[in-house]
Each structure stands twice: as C-alpha cells, then as structure tokens.
Amino acid sequence: MSLLRRPEPNAEGHYQHISPENAQWRYVGFDAYDLQAGQTLELPASSDELCLVLLAGLADIQAGTQQFQAVGERMQVFEDKAPHAIYVKNGEAVQVKATTDLELAVCRAPGFGNHATRWIKPETMSREQRGQGSNTRFVCNILPQDEPADSLLVVEVKTPAGNWSSYPPHKHDADNIPHESYLEETYYHRIHPSQGFCFQRVFTDNLDIDESMAVEDRCVVMVPRGYHPVAAAHGYDSYYLNVMAGPTRCWIFKNHPAHEWMLRS
C-alpha cells in the first residue's frame, strides 16, 4: 500500500478520506473538503473527537447544542495568519455551513468525553520559527499537547521554497515514554504556486518502510512508522497540516542518529 494519497474529489467537495480502516492503523482519521459558499456539510456523531480546521474561508458551525458564527478569517493557507479551529468532543453531531468558499480539514481520533467543545481562536495558538538557514520553517500549534483534548495533536507548518522541514529526520513510533512516544501521523500538503511539488521520504531504521514521494497540491502522506522529512522544491512554498494521535497524548520524538550531528554544528 502506498503511503501517498492523491485527492479524489466527489460532487460534495470531499477529496481526502483517511480512516484507521483504510490506513491500516488504529488512531488517526483525516478528511478534507472544498465547500462552495452556501453549501452545508453534516457530520454525524461518533466515538471520535474532532478538530475542524478552517484552512481558508468562513463558516457558521453547530456542534452539539453550541453554535459558532462567522468562524474563520484567512482566505488561503499561505497568508501570514493562524487558522480558526473548532474542537468537538465525541458524541456530538456537527453541521458546517460555508458562508464563503471554504477549505476545511476534519481531524479525528478516539474521544473519551473529557473536554468540552470549544472555538480555538488564532490568538490562543502559539507560533514559532524552527531551524535556521535552509532548514527554516514556521510552525503554528493549533491543538498542542498543553491544550485540552483526549487524543488529537494538530499543527501546521509553512516551509519556504528550497528549504527542508521535519528535519533532521525524526520519528515517534515507539511507546517508550519518557524517551519516545507512539504517534500515527498524516501530512496534508498544499503547494504555492499550486502546480508545484515537494518531496517526502518515510523510512524506518531497518528500511522495511522506505518510500520517497513527489507530493503535489492537496495530497496526503501517511506516516504509520519511521522518519519522515520534507523538502520544498525551488520556487514552490510548502504548507502541511499534521494530525497525530496514539495511545498517549504526548509528542516525544527521536532524531535519526546518523543525522543528529547537524543540530550540534
């Protein structure tokens, strides 16, 4: 099974669908939608908690008994703005009505009812620069481990053209806390300009997984195990939305020992 999923849009605007069943793992689900202004999306209640990330555009959202009006601000993912998001506890149905054209990500993982549904606003999200030189990238922590949720971890990263990201190669595939945590992960990629591409490699220490992919706009790369660096091609900026979940909600990664030297230089 390839780790690369290309967009497959349907008439309702649903073009990415990753589930534990079709990914052959246990925790992470991811869906992406392009909704037209005035279009409504219904998501039935389930055992999953959700993080709805308004990647671009505005919407009115009802989750359970709560209504959130005029959610959103930025109109494309490469604007220098954090997104708006709605955290939805498990067991609550959701209705999303697009008030402009809307690019929507629906992030899923097992929920246990421990945290209330809420609007996560941009001003509450931490933003940071990581790396230096051609390893510089810009991170927005949408739903990090120090914010309440049962399973989900959600972050977005913008990488300038020609730079590397998720680098040096790191992994989080061993349930060995406090040294490393086990987290499945999806990478939802956007490219600017959209005709471009980036590269991503997913590989394990013993190379039982070793897949290098040319990744185009709106593709998803699944990371069940292993290291997973990204390289943005010259002339094309990279954006990706990461969704992670596992048995313990913490992000503890291990750098590839052959490449960790560069962090000390």
**pLDDT tens, position by position, 82-116:** 999 999 999 999 999 999 999 999 999 999 999 99
Q: Return the pLDDT at 1.
A: 74
State the burial class of residue 80 (Cβ atoms within 10 Å of its Cβ: 0-12, 13-18, 19+): exposed
Domains of the chain: 4-260 (2.60.120.10)
- Predicted pLDDT at 264: 83
What does the pLDDT average to over 192-200? 98
Tokens found for residue 222: 């699944």
Q: Which residue has the tokens 């349930």?
A: 175
Nearest CA-CA partner of 195 in 160, 233, 158: 233
pLDDT digits (tens, 9 = 90+) for 37-95: 999 999 999 999 999 999 999 999 999 999 999 999 999 999 999 999 999 999 999 99
pTM over 0.85: yes
Cα 158 from Cα 160, distance rounded (Å):
7
Cβ distance 152 to 29 under 8 Å?
no
Query: Tokens 């649903």 correspond to what residue?
Result: 14
Report residue 211 as tokens. Answer: 């897949």
Nearest 5°: phi and psi at 123? -70, -15
User: Which structure tokens are listed for 240?
Assistant: 């990706």
pLDDT tens string 134-164: 999 999 999 999 999 999 999 999 999 999 9
Higher pLDDT, residue 223 or 11: 223
**To the nearest whole number, what is the mean pLDDT of the chain?**
97
Distance CA 154, CA 91 (A): 20
pLDDT of amino acid 265: 67
